[in-house]
A and B are shown apart, each in its own frame.
Chain A
């Protein structure tokens, strides 16, 4: 029975919490409030994704990619950033946004298919400067890593101490963009941390089919970028490793690469059926190594949380998720003309004006093809 998709044996990585929640290393210096904030973000991510899955099944959302069982990767790493830092996520880092208070309503409205312009109009983003700046989530993978490196190069050249953080999956470390990005990061000593969320499955392709290298972390070696392999289901280890990398980058020490080993227990996205290509017993093995259960056991043992607190926080995040979903549902359907917005600055071109008028005519049920002299409709 294959329980491990990689060549490298399990448990050969940096770890603070064992799967049963017992300490196997020194925990990072985090106060009770900070530990509770991590826990709350965990819970919010899980409840939000459960809600989104139900909405997807009802047809309110066309497709979602869940992070169940992988939340500690994004959560621990994003928590190591500071306000003003820049984060370049993909679609499987819901927990990073939850930690930094990214509004639920805006992401739900986007998942419901609203044009960004409509979302901005009805659910304006918060004022800048209070948290980490998130770019729009990238769907074409590893494009974000190169952009993050450019962002970090700008800070290096200006002498500012902002750090950029990008996420990449183990599958997309096979893309050329990944290597180009890490190469630039190394050459320019860019203050950028790249976190590889190695969940061992890139849709249907297992990790050992992505590379003959022993680990994904070692890919950074070729680019002179320091790297570490971390238990991605251990939120404290993720926090600790990223904290060190971020501090080093902020202090002028250059880039870092973190391979976070986790497992994609659920489908790639809601259009995927993993039973077709893998042994689902793997997921059971990993369910026993759930990152929230592990953190929960630790915090209870330490006396940081108890049943009452967990119940109260659960009710609290449920209410927040529900309120966000309600606000998203109130966003009116996007005006089709929004598709023409935000392509170029300045006066719209002849083509843009005429095509917009054509669409408008079509929307009114009129024939849009009646202009034969270019004077417009």
Chain B
């Protein structure tokens, strides 16, 4: 029941380790890294097709697919009707036939109509077929607040996806990470929800390897080492974690989770065992946000190492507010700093 063979490169091996094809590096921002990676994957494997709303001549509302329609044509970069569930459902059907579709949902807050296809087909088809059918779909979704967009355009609801088995959830925090993780996601035989932190699409540039470059899909990244407290973040929050770490009077270890599902539990526990303290920083609402799971894992498996309770510096349990007050909702370096200082000051 498997679909046609692709070029043989695709497979779970992309998750095995970091691979770079050599060559130089080019400074670029995060959204350009998305664009470059998609162009490279479209060129590398003819089974790769992008589909979504406004992907074509306009190049995406964030220009992430700029120029790809012109280069690869309307059958590879497919402008669709306005129909998130249709986009996801047809992507699943293509994938069942050996294609490697990369659908885009324009904003995470627009994902909900596609939840039927997400739950029933995307996340479950591989298991339902007893492994006979692969569904190698990478759903790109810009997410997050902080750009004075409107309420439905700013949410972070990664928990919904993390709670669902059978799907990877990946979130890059820098341009270099974006290239490596997106390439690995597209090549993975698993469904991947790839969350793009749109606040930092154009926030900064860094050198990105020019050649073929993938990163493992199941390893957290130690952004900086430290001995006093572990600060866990992902996506746009990693930069804020770094700012907080610079300001606070403590030796902070920053862990960029990268893979939100599955979680690199070893990396989390190893770090917390060394530091004895942990703060989770995320944009999402607090209750049952990913911080809750991380806190629970640390409680269950590293309680003996803790010198303070785990604290969660997060958004509040409210609907994402309008842009006059979004800064008050969003966790920032200051909120992260407060949380770090609180656990540093705590004594059993």
Contacts and interface: CB of A to CB of B under 8 A. Distances in A.
Contact of A176 (B99, B113, B165, B301): B113
A345 B304 contact: no
Given A343-B126, A343-B165, A345-B189, A140 B302 contact: no
Nearest to A115: B130
Interface residues of B, number: 60
Interface stretch (B27-35, B62-70, B258-266, B313-321): B258-266
Given A153-B94, A350-B262, A146 B86 contact: yes
A181 B262 contact: no
Contacts of B129: 116, 135-136, 342
Given A135-B133, A372-B304, A183 B86 contact: yes
Interface stretch (A10-18, A60-68, A117-125): A117-125
A108 to B, nearest CB: 16
B117 A149 contact: no
Interface stretch (B75-83, B204-212, B242-250, B281-289): B75-83
B303 to A, nearest CB: 7
A341 B97 CA distance: 22
A120 to B, nearest CB: 5
Nearest to A147: B93
Interface in A333-377: 341-347, 349-352, 354, 371-374
Contacts of B190: 344-346
Contacts of A213: none
B130 A371 contact: no
A128 interface: yes
Contacts of A147: 89-90, 92-93, 96, 121
Q: Which of B98, B132, B188 has the most CB of A within 10 A?
A: B132
Given A143-B121, A176-B85, A150 B93 contact: yes
A195 interface: no
Given A143-B116, A344-B190, A350 B266 contact: yes
A341 B127 CA distance: 7
B127 A342 contact: yes
A150 B92 contact: yes
B218 A177 contact: no
Nearest to B133: A135
Nearest to B166: A343
Contacts of A164: 93
B203 interface: no
A310 interface: no
B221 to A, nearest CB: 16
Contacts of B266: 350, 374
Given A136-B129, A351-B263, A151 B93 contact: yes
Given A86-B97, A180-B89, A344-B166, A143 B130 contact: no
A374 B265 contact: yes
A152 B93 CA distance: 8
Given A125-B132, A349-B218, A140 B301 contact: no
B90 A184 contact: yes
B116 A177 contact: yes
B16 interface: yes
Contact of A153 (B93, B113, B117, B128): B93
Interface string A108-143: 000000011101100001001000010110101001
A371 B301 CA distance: 7
B220 to A, nearest CB: 11
B322 interface: no
Contacts of B338: none
A133 B189 CA distance: 21
Contacts of B128: 116, 136
Contacts of A143: 89, 116-117, 120-121
B90 A149 contact: yes
Contacts of A187: 80-81
B176 interface: no
B83 A184 contact: yes
B1 A128 contact: yes
A150 B269 CA distance: 42
B218 A146 contact: no
Interface string B108-127: 00000100110011000111
A148 interface: yes
A183 B83 contact: yes
A184 B80 contact: yes
B139 to A, nearest CB: 14
A164 B98 CA distance: 14
Contact of A150 (B83, B89, B126): B89
Contacts of B97: 86, 150-151, 154-155
Contacts of A151: 93-94, 96-97
The interface centre, meaning the residue of B89, B125, B266 with most chain A CB atoms within 10 A of its CB, is: B89
Nearest to B101: A150
A183 B86 CA distance: 9
B131 A342 contact: yes
A157 interface: yes
A342 B190 CA distance: 10
Which of B16, B131, B166, B190 counts the most A-chain CB atoms under 10 A from its CB? Answer: B131
Contact of B90 (A119, A153, A344, A347): A153
Contacts of A148: 93
B113 A149 contact: no
Contacts of B89: 143, 146-147, 149-150, 177, 180-181
B262 A341 contact: no
B130 A116 contact: yes
8 tightest A-B CB contacts, nearest first: A150-B93, A146-B89, A116-B130, A349-B262, A150-B90, A180-B86, A374-B301, A345-B12
Given A135-B133, A146-B86, A148-B93, 19 more contacts: A125-B132, A143-B117, A149-B90, A149-B93, A150-B89, A151-B94, A153-B90, A177-B85, A180-B83, A181-B86, A183-B83, A342-B131, A343-B165, A343-B166, A344-B166, A346-B190, A346-B218, A350-B266, A372-B303
21 contacts: A116-B128, A128-B2, A143-B117, A146-B90, A151-B97, A152-B93, A154-B94, A154-B97, A157-B75, A157-B76, A181-B86, A183-B81, A183-B86, A341-B127, A341-B131, A345-B12, A345-B188, A346-B218, A350-B266, A371-B301, A372-B301
